[in-house]
């Protein structure tokens, strides 16, 4: 089940809201129980047979946290076992097919398994591990109530596509939170904004990207650039839209998740881009891999090793395929270059050139990410630089530019902090005593959200093209 579906919007969510808010606020344990049952049901809709994996993750990390807490005997051994079991489950379900396929291609007589990838396995595995590791480090207290750990790992808004939430962020709210009408209203507005990103922009841009990356021998240079730029928009609006919906739904039920995106396409370097993109994953690798390896507190050779290790793992986290590994190493090399080679020159360059530099590298990176094979990567990159099988230009490019002209134009301001600028201007007017500014601050987002929701529903009912990119990670 996805948030942008009729079943979720008009069946699952209304049923949950009725059952949840019918329980008095003072009965926190019962409200948590309702939320846990619905969260497990939400996950089961994507594959009932794999619900056992989710329950296993809950049991492993709950027990790991209890047995590896400070003061426990053999706590280090218990922590190692917890991490090994987590990574073992993730490795089996996500990477077994990939490794066996490559062994088979090398000529080894191995059978290639047919393992179904559980939805969101990378997200809830990393989330569960972070809880156990934080308990082991003394950064969080071991939770005695297993249902609270279960709710933390299974909580449906961020269950299958993030953001990756730390236990320390929501532990207090699981035990005692205060839902309010104003917070629920703010969450609903955020949800509608995310739904619109997904339905009105990501899906339209995705059709252009699919046409370009699937063009084969009909690919032209113009279509390659249009497709690469469209995918750059699609993956941002798809993933940040889902994060907006998750954060909004969290607020409805009294949870405050940290932001996962900070307008990454305004970046002026690859380093800045990764401070703004998928923030929860970047900080996870920083805190649980990069810093334990030594981080920046070591010589240059070890720093290079640490950065390449983190980005190799980042690539593999995104998918079991060579293009994801290349994509991770691509960013690892870029960050090393900016850190040790051309970073000083880049800082002295004009802002416009730095922004163009970053955008070009980001688009090329997404080309690696989107291509379905190494041959596809080579063909697409060659087409971008003028060596396309069908030449430089085609009528197909003009068709997609015309057919999706409004979505392409709206994608530009939608990827910029325009809303932040407008709100800042209105707040300055309000401090000056302007009533219209105050009314605009209160009513404007709500009216806009209502309109966006209506347009999103119309788009949902009128189209069958509705993929979520990060569901397969």
* 470 is a domain residue: no
Query: What digits encode the pLDDT tens for the residues 215-248?
Result: 989 999 999 999 999 999 999 999 999 999 999 9
Identify the pLDDT of residue 155.
Answer: 95
| Cα–Cα distance, 41 to 51 (Å, whole number) | 9
Identify the pLDDT of residue 467.
Answer: 72
| Residue-averaged pLDDT of the chain | 91
Contact (CB, 8 A) for 399 and 413: no
Q: Residues 271, 295: one domain?
A: yes
Rama region for 468: left / alpha / beta (φ>0; ψ in -120 to 50; rest)? beta
* 471 is a domain residue: no
At 262 the three-state DSSP class reads coil
Asked if pLDDT for residue 471 goes beyond 80, the answer is no
- Out of 256, 278, 318, 355, pick the active-site residue: 318
When pLDDT is averaged across residues 316-326 and rounded to a whole number, the result is 92
What are the DSSP calls for 374-443, one per residue? HHHHHHHHHHHTT--TT-S--HHHHHHHHHTHHHHHHHHHHTTTHHHHHHHHHHHHHHTT-HHHHHHHHH
Residue 439: pLDDT band (50, 70, 90) is low
Element (H, E) at 328: helix 322-340
Burial group, residue 21, by CB count within 10 angstroms (0-12, 13-18, 19+):
middle
Identify the pLDDT of residue 432.
Answer: 67
Identify the pLDDT of residue 430.
Answer: 65
Q: Residues 354, 256: one domain?
A: yes
Token pair of 358 as six digits: 């970053």
Q: Residues 330, 291: one domain?
A: yes
Residue 463's contacts (CB-CB under 8 Å, 6 or more residues apart) are 203
Distances (CA, A) of 53 to 65, 79, 85, 97, 115: 18, 19, 12, 18, 13
Of 121, 150, 177, which residue is a domain's last?
177
Q: Residues 170, 207: one domain?
A: no
Asked if pLDDT for residue 198 goes beyond 60, the answer is yes
Q: Residues 360, 403: one domain?
A: yes
Contact (CB, 8 A) for 244 and 191: yes
Kindly state the percentage of the chain with pLDDT values over 70.
Answer: 96
Least Cα distance to 239 among 280, 268, 208, 207 occurs for: 280
Contact (CB, 8 A) for 328 and 289: no
Kindly report which listed range (90-104, 226-240, 271-285, 351-365) carries the lowest average pLDDT score: 90-104
* Residue numbers of the domain that contains 27: 6-177
Least Cα distance to 460 among 270, 199, 98, 206 occurs for: 199
Of 155, 177, 199, which residue is a domain's last?
177
* 472 is a domain residue: no
Asked if pLDDT for residue 434 goes beyond 80, the answer is no
Of 128, 151, 177, which residue is a domain's last?
177
Identify the pLDDT of residue 67.
Answer: 94
At 246 the three-state DSSP class reads helix
* 30 is a domain residue: yes
Q: Residues 150, 268: one domain?
A: no
Identify the pLDDT of residue 139.
Answer: 92
When pLDDT is averaged across residues 413-442 and rounded to a whole number, the result is 73
Residue 46: pLDDT band (50, 70, 90) is confident
Q: Residues 173, 272: one domain?
A: no
Token pair of 298 as six digits: 């070591």
When pLDDT is averaged across residues 415-429 and rounded to a whole number, the result is 80
Token pair of 141 as six digits: 């207290």
Q: What is the DSSP letter of 111?
A: P
Distances (CA, A) of 37 to 22, 136, 243, 322, 332: 15, 28, 22, 38, 41
| Cα–Cα distance, 127 to 164 (Å, whole number) | 6
Least Cα distance to 220 among 396, 393, 382, 395 occurs for: 393
318 is catalytic: yes
Torsion angle of the four alpha carbons 199, 202, 207, 210, in this order, in degrees rounded to the nearest 10: -140
Least Cα distance to 212 among 409, 323, 367 occurs for: 367
* 393 is a domain residue: yes
Residue 188: pLDDT band (50, 70, 90) is very high
Q: Residues 125, 147: one domain?
A: yes
| Cα–Cα distance, 325 to 313 (Å, whole number) | 8
* 214 is a domain residue: yes
| Cα–Cα distance, 124 to 368 (Å, whole number) | 26
Token pair of 36 as six digits: 């846990």
* 130 is a domain residue: yes
Identify the pLDDT of residue 421.
Answer: 83
Sign of CA dihedral 150, 152, 158, 160: negative
Contact (CB, 8 A) for 54 and 149: no
Q: Residues 216, 359: one domain?
A: yes
Whether the bond between 163 and the residue before it is cis, its omega within 30 degrees of 0, is yes
Q: Residues 35, 91: one domain?
A: yes
Kindly state the percentage of the chain with pLDDT values over 90.
Answer: 75
Q: Residues 254, 158: one domain?
A: no
Domain total of the chain: 2
pTM: 0.94
Identify the pLDDT of residue 436.
Answer: 56
Q: Residues 294, 430: one domain?
A: yes
At 460 the three-state DSSP class reads helix
* 467 is a domain residue: no
333-340 long-range contacts (CB < 8 A, ≥24 apart) are 333/308, 334/270, 334/361, 335/270, 335/271, 335/274, 335/307, 335/311, 336/304, 336/307, 336/308, 338/269, 338/270, 338/271, 339/271, 339/303, 339/307, 340/300, 340/304
Residue 40 C-alpha from the chain's centroid: 20
The H helix count followed by the E strand count for the chain is 23, 0
At 108 the three-state DSSP class reads coil
Asked if pLDDT for residue 425 goes beyond 80, the answer is no
Query: What digits encode the pLDDT tens for the residues 446-455?
Result: 888 899 999 9
Identify the pLDDT of residue 394.
Answer: 86
Burial group, residue 242, by CB count within 10 angstroms (0-12, 13-18, 19+):
buried
When pLDDT is averaged across residues 386-409 and rounded to a whole number, the result is 92
């Amino acid at each position: 089940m996805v948030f942008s579906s009729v079943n979720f919007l008009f069946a699952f969510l209304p049923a949950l809201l009725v059952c949840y808010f019918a329980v008095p606020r003072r009965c926190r344990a019962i409200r948590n129980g309702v939320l846990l049952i619905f969260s497990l049901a939400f996950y089961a809709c994507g594959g009932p047979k794999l619900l056992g994996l989710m329950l296993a993750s809950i049991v492993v990390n709950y027990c790991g946290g209890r047995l590896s807490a400070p003061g426990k005997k053999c706590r280090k051994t218990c922590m190692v076992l917890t991490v090994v079991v987590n990574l073992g489950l993730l490795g089996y379900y996500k990477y077994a097919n990939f490794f066996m396929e490559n062994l088979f291609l090398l000529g080894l007589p191995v059978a290639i398994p047919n393992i179904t990838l559980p939805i969101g396995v990378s997200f809830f595995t990393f989330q569960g591990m972070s809880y156990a590791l934080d308990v082991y480090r003394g950064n969080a207290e071991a939770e005695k109530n297993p249902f609270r750990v279960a709710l933390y790992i299974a909580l449906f808004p961020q269950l299958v596509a993030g953001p990756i939430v730390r236990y320390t962020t929501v532990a207090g709210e699981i035990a005692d939170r205060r839902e309010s009408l104003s917070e629920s209203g703010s969450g609903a507005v955020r949800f509608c904004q995310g739904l619109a990103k997904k339905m009105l922009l990501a899906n339209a841009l995705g059709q252009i990207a699919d046409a370009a990356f699937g063009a084969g021998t009909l690919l032209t240079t113009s279509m390659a650039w249009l497709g690469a730029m469209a995918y750059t928009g699609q993956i941002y609006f798809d993933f940040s839209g889902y994060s907006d919906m998750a954060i909004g739904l969290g607020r409805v039920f009294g949870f405050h998740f940290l932001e996962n995106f900070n307008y990454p396409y305004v970046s002026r370097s690859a380093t800045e881009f990764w401070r703004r993109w998928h923030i929860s994953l970047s900080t996870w690798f920083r805190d649980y891999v990069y810093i334990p390896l030594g981080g920046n507190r070591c010589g240059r050779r070890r720093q290079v090793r640490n950065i390449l290790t983190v980005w190799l793992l980042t690539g593999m986290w995104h998918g079991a395929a060579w293009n994801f590994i290349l994509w991770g190493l691509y960013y690892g090399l870029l960050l090393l270059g900016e850190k040790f080679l051309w970073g000083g020159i880049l800082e002295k360059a004009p802002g416009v050139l730095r922004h163009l530099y970053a955008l070009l590298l980001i688009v090329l990176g997404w080309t690696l990410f989107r291509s379905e094979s190494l041959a596809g990567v080579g063909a697409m990159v060659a087409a971008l630089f003028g060596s396309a099988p069908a030449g430089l230009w085609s009528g197909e490019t003009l068709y997609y530019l015309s057919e999706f002209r409004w979505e392409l134009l709206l994608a530009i301001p939608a990827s910029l902090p325009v809303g932040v600028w407008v709100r800042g201007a209105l707040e300055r007017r309000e401090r000056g005593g302007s009533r219209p500014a105050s009314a605009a601050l209160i009513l404007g987002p709500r009216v806009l959200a209502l309109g966006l929701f209506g347009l999103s529903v119309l788009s949902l009912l009128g189209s069958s093209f509705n993929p979520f990119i990060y569901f397969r990670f």
